[in-house]
Amino acid sequence: MTTHLVWFRADLRLHDNIALAAACRSQHARVLALFIATPEQWREHGMAPRQAAYLRAHLNELQQGLAQKGIPLIYAEVNDFAAQSEKVQQVCDEHDVTHLFYNYQYEFNEQQRDRELEKRLDTVVCQGFDDSVMLPPGSVMTGSHEMYKVFTPFKNAYLKRLKEGLPECVAAPASRGAALSVSDDLNFDYPQADFNPDHFPATEKAAIAQLRQFCKDHAAEYEEQRDFPAVEGTSRLSACLALGVLSPRQCLHRLLAEQPQALDGGAGAVWLNELIWREFYRHLMTYHPDLCKHRPFIRWTDKVQWQQDDKQLQAWQNGQTGYPIVDAAMRQLNETGWMHNRLRMIVASFLVKDLLIDWRAGERYFISQLIDGDLAANNGGWQWAASTGTDAAPYFRIFNPTTQGQRFDATGEFIRQWLPELTDVPGKSIHEPWAWADKTGETLDYPRPIVDHKQARVATLAAYEAARKA
C-alpha cells in the first residue's frame, strides 16, 4: 500500500492547495498530513506574536478540516530547519511513507532545507509544487532570459502570460473515509498576542467569504480608496496570503469573476497590480537570494553612512516622533499588527530619509509586529522606500510627512483615532499641532518633532550622494 505524506508549511488551507490535491489524487493511497513548528527559527527571524497566534488559529482549523475528510494531521515541534528535516525523515520511516508532497517556499534557507531533505529521502518520491504564486519563478523573463529588474515591464509580460491562459484552481480533496475525532488544541512554545477576527478571518471559510465580498463590493473602487487610511478601502487579505490561508490563484479567479475587465486595465486592475507586485518580489527573491541575507539590491547603497540613534529609533517605534501621520500609523501597527499600505511607505520613508536610520532596522521591526509578515513583500517594500532595491523610488524622492498627512488624511480622522492626545486640535491644524498650540497658547501632551524635515532632507541627500560617489 502506498502512503502519501503532505507536509504543510505556509499553505494552511484545503481549497486550491496543489500539494494536498496531488497527494489525494490516488483513491488507493493512504494520506497523512504533517506540520512541524520551529519556534527557535521563528525567534531568529523575529516572527510577530500576533502572526504566531494567527498561525495557531489556522493550524487548528486546518486540523479540524482534514479530520472531517479522514486525513490525520501529525504535529511536531522542533527547534529549527535542520531538526525539521530530521523529523520529516523520522515520520516517513515510522509510517512507511512512499511519496512526500509539499509546496515550494522561495526563501533561501527554506530552499536549502528542501534540497538537503530530498537527498536524505532516497527511498521516498518527493514532489514539490509552485503553489504560493500564480505563475512560477522563471516563467516570466526578459527576451534574454533574465529576471526583470523593473516592475512595469514585468507586469506587462505577466499580464500577457495570464491572458494566454489563467492558472487553474484545484478543488479541496474529497473525503477519504470516516471523519476523525480531534481533541487536541495544537499550540507551540512561542509568544502570542490577540488579533481581531473581524479584520483577520480566523477560518478558511471566513477568508473565502471576505475575498468574495471585497472583489464584489470594493475592488472596483480600490484605486480611488486605497490611499486613505480612514477608509476601509483595502482587502486586509495580506495576512491570509502570508500563511497560505488563501492562494493568489483564488484571489485572481474571484477578482475576474466579479471584475472581468481587470486583465485589460478596467475595474479591479489596480488590485490585480498589487497581486502582481507580490509575485514580482517572490520571483526576485528566487533569482537574487542576497535579498534574504539583509543585503541591498543596489550595492552602492550599502555605503550610506547611517545614523546610530537608538533614542530616535525608539521614538519612531513607539509613535512619538511629533509627526502625527507617522505616529498614528506606528500606533496602529503596535496595537493591531497591521498597517495601511500608504502608511507603510510614509513611515518607512521617515525612518530612512528623515532619521537616516538603516532600513534593515525598520524591516526587522515590521516583521516583529506584522500579522501579515512576509519576507519577500516586507523586504521589497522597505528596499523600495529606502531606494536600495530593484525598481525602487529614486534616492532623492523623500516624502514630506506633514504634506503626506494633509493629502491622505486631510481632516485628521485617522490621526484622531490613534492619537487621542490630539483630539482637541481643530480641523487641518492636526497635521502641525505645535504650530497651532504655539499660536493659541494651548498645552499639548504630545512630543515636538524630533527632527526638522527640511534639514533632514538636505542631510539625507548628501549621505546618499556621498555613497554613490564612493
**Of residues 245, 264, 275, the one with CA closest to residue 371:** 245
Task: Compute, in degrees rounded to 10, the torsion defined by CA atoms 24, 26, 27, 30.
Answer: -70
Does 281 belong to an annotated binding site? yes
In one-letter notation, the amino acid at residue 25 is R
Give residue for cell 488559529: 57
Q: Which of 359, 384, 418, 436 is flagged as catalytic?
A: 359
Does 246 belong to an annotated binding site? no
- CB neighbours of 365 closer than 8 A, spacing ≥ 6? 317
Instruction: Write phi, then psi, for 252 (nearest 5 degrees).
Output: -60, -50
Q: Are 408 and 326 in contact (CB under 8 A)?
A: no
Q: Is 34 helix (H, G, I), strand (E, B) or coil?
A: strand
Residue 306 falls in the annotated catalytic set: yes
Does 278 belong to an annotated binding site? yes
HEC secondary structure over 309-353: CHHHHHHHHHCCCCCHHHHHHHHHHHHHCCCCHHHHHHHHHHHHH
Report CA-CA distances (Å) from 413 to 31, 204, 230, 273, 430: 52, 32, 6, 28, 10
Q: Are 101 and 23 in contact (CB under 8 A)?
A: yes
Does 416 belong to an annotated binding site? no
The grid coordinates listed for 321 are 516622533
Does 441 belong to an annotated binding site? no
Compute how many other C-beta atoms are within 10 angstroms of the C-beta atom of residue 144.
5
Q: CA 237 to CA 83: how far, in whole Å?
A: 32
Q: Which of 187, 223, 274, 400 is flagged as catalytic?
A: 274
Q: Are 137 and 162 in contact (CB under 8 A)?
A: no
Does 104 belong to an annotated binding site? no
Q: CA 159 to CA 283: how far, in whole Å?
A: 15
Does 374 belong to an annotated binding site? yes
Residue 44 falls in the annotated catalytic set: no
Q: Which of 79, 196, 341, 400 is flagged as catalytic?
A: 341
Does 408 belong to an annotated binding site? no
Does 429 belong to an annotated binding site? no
- CB neighbours of 381 closer than 8 A, spacing ≥ 6? 344, 345, 348
Does 232 belong to an annotated binding site? no
- Cα Rg for the chain, rounded, in angstroms? 24
The grid coordinates listed for 442 are 494651548
Q: CA 295 to CA 292: how far, in whole Å?
A: 7
Q: Which of 7, 316, 382, 418 is flagged as catalytic?
A: 382
Residue 446 DSSP label: S
Q: Are 9 and 41 in contact (CB under 8 A)?
A: no
Residue 274 falls in the annotated catalytic set: yes
Q: Which of 277, 316, 338, 418 is flagged as catalytic?
A: 277
Does 277 belong to an annotated binding site? yes
Taking the mean position of all CA atoms in its chain, how far away is CA 112? 21
Does 276 belong to an annotated binding site? yes
Does 388 belong to an annotated binding site? no
Residue 382 falls in the annotated catalytic set: yes
Q: Which of 306, 334, 400, 434 is flagged as catalytic?
A: 306
Q: CA 27 to CA 140: how far, in whole Å?
A: 35
Does 316 belong to an annotated binding site? no
Catalytically annotated residues: 274, 277, 306, 341, 359, 382
Binding-site positions for FAD? 222, 234-238, 271, 274-281, 372-374
Binding-site positions? 222, 234-238, 271, 274-281, 372-374
